[in-house]
């Protein structure tokens, strides 16, 4: 693929409301958008999902820049790329740094799909024309605030509600939520806030008929999760612990989880995400697509991935307006009755709002090939 130029832009956007998880609160979001341009003027886009502070994983906005600027882009300049599947092989000498890799790989997937004139979803092998989505709700100041927030999104039609939990904001909160919403699909995400000392406490979750509990134990663990899963009925879903197909295989073999949250950035890009999907399909393990408070480019990539058949559970990809007053794509991602219509235009299927892109850009660097 004749790439002529890559542009890295650092953007800064402000979330409509602060988002609180067991590890902290976010309101300002900085992230990179990579743009790959070919000789025909086609433009492919990828979005980095690393946060400013490395509290979800070890990567941050600044480490992403270091890895892309000092290593990954040079590797792309020095190697022939016939297909986006080649990109992770080219990057293989670099350990981990999956979010940095995924940013560039994503731009190249979009560029390739646009050159072929087909939607990214179709290039990946996805067949759904619409996808079901849920919403992730951060820790709220009070239970009453939480109930109101859930009520708002249930009325908007979201198909599944995910609540963030932590010690002190869990059993009693879920009891109230379940009482108010007896028939809603509900799950909880702990972002690694518990340990095996909490087994008896976590057993109490079984009474709430949750779809799953996401990442209750350490961010780098699969062994203790297997012990916990043997003690509780609520299915465990792993997020932070899964960085590759190999991790997914080991977790499924050990019985560490019954469900996997696939995040493109966390696993190093769309090729690895698809491999995890294919493995889970063979193993009959449901998967769903997680979110990282993405702007439009990241959202569009998530939508394309979710068209694959084993994404049988609603993901976290809500509409653009859930986080942003103004997004960087046109049209914005719209959710109606809990459903997103998959765009049928080439590539990610949404146009860039170049004015918005410019408006939110705080740094920019170009790399000529």
- Number of residues counted as binding ligand OSB (CB under 6 A): 12
Of 122-130, 173-181, 291-299, 349-357, the segment contacting ligand OSB by CB under 6 A is: 291-299
| Beta strand extents in the chain (DSSP E only) | 3-21, 24-38, 43-47, 130-132, 135-137, 161-164, 186-189, 213-214, 236-238, 259-262, 287-289, 329-330, 339-341, 351-352, 361-368
Q: In whole angstroms, what is the distance from residue 80 CA to residue 251 CA?
A: 35
- Structure tokens of 23? 């590890």
Of residues 143 through 202, those in contact with Mg ion by CB under 5 A are 189
Instruction: State the binding string over 208-247 for Mg ion (x if CB under 5 A, else -).
Output: ------x------------------------x--------
Q: In whole angstroms, what is the distance from residue 29 CA to residue 27 CA?
A: 6
Residue 240 in marked binding region = no
Nearer to ligand OSB, 43 or 243 (CB): 243
Q: Would residue 164 show up in a list of annotated catalytic residues for this protein? A: yes
CB atoms within 10 A of CB 85: 16
Tell the smallest beta-carbon distance from residue 239 to ligand OSB (Å).
5
Choosing from 268, 290, 314, 319, the residue that interacts with ligand OSB (CB under 6 A) is 290
Whether residue 290 contacts residue 276, with contact meaning beta carbons closer than 8 Å, is answered with no
Nearer to ligand OSB, 236 or 292 (CB): 292
Tell the smallest beta-carbon distance from residue 46 to Mg ion (Å).
21
Of residues 188 through 247, those in contact with ligand OSB by CB under 6 A are 189, 191, 239
Residue 214 in marked binding region = yes
Largest separation between any pair of C-alpha atoms in the chain = 61
Q: Which does 56 bind (CB under 5 to 8 A by kind): Mg ion, ligand OSB, none?
A: ligand OSB
Q: Does position 292 bind ligand OSB by CB under 6 A?
A: yes
Catalytic residue among 29, 164, 166, 274: 164
Whether residue 330 contacts residue 352, with contact meaning beta carbons closer than 8 Å, is answered with yes
Residue among 261, 121, 127, 133 at smallest CA distance from 191: 261
What's CA 282's distance to the chain center, in Å? Answer: 22
Of 35-43, 176-184, 285-293, 356-364, the segment contacting ligand OSB by CB under 6 A is: 285-293
Q: Which does 174 bind (CB under 5 to 8 A by kind): ligand OSB, Mg ion, none?
A: none
- Structure tokens of 185? 């699909």
Point out the residues that are catalytic.
164, 263
Binding site membership for Mg(2+): which residues? 189, 214, 239
């Amino acid at each position: 693929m004749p790439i002529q130029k890559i542009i890295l832009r650092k953007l800064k956007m402000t979330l409509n409301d602060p988002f609180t998880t067991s590890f902290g609160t976010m309101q300002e979001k900085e992230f990179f958008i990579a743009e790959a341009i070919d000789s025909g003027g086609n433009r492919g886009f990828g979005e980095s999902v690393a946060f400013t502070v490395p509290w979800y994983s070890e990567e941050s906005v600044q480490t992403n820049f270091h890895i892309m600027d000092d290593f990954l882009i040079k590797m792309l300049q020095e190697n022939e790329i016939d297909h986006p599947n080649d990109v992770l092989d080219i990057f293989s000498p670099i350990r981990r740094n999956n979010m940095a890799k995924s940013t560039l790989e994503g731009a190249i997937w979009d560029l390739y799909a646009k050159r072929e004139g087909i939607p990214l979803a179709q290039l990946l092998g996805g067949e759904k024309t619409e996808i079901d989505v849920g919403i992730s709700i951060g820790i709220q100041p009070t239970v009453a605030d939480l109930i109101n927030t859930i009520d708002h999104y249930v009325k908007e039609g979201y198909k599944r509600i995910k609540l963030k939990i932590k010690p002190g904001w869990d059993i009693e909160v879920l009891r109230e939520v379940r009482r108010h919403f007896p028939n809603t699909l509900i799950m909880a995400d702990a972002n690694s806030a518990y340990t095996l000392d909490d087994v008896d406490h976590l057993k109490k979750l079984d009474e709430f008929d949750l779809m799953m509990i996401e990442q209750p134990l350490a961010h780098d663990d699969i062994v203790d999760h297997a012990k916990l899963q043997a003690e509780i009925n609520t299915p465990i879903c792993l997020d932070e612990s899964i960085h590759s197909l190999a991790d997914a295989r080991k977790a499924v073999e050990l019985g560490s989880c019954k469900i996997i949250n696939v995040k493109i950035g966390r696993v190093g890009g769309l090729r690895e995400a698809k491999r995890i999907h294919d493995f889970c399909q063979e193993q009959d393990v449901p998967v769903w697509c997680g979110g990282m408070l993405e702007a439009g480019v990241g959202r569009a990539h998530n939508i394309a991935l979710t068209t694959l058949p084993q994404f049988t559970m609603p993901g976290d990809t809500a509409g653009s307006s859930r986080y942003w007053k103004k997004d960087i794509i046109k049209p914005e991602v719209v959710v109606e009755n809990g459903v997103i219509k998959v765009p049928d235009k080439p590539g990610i299927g949404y146009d860039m709002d170049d004015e918005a892109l410019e408006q939110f850009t705080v740094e920019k660097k170009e790399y000529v090939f």
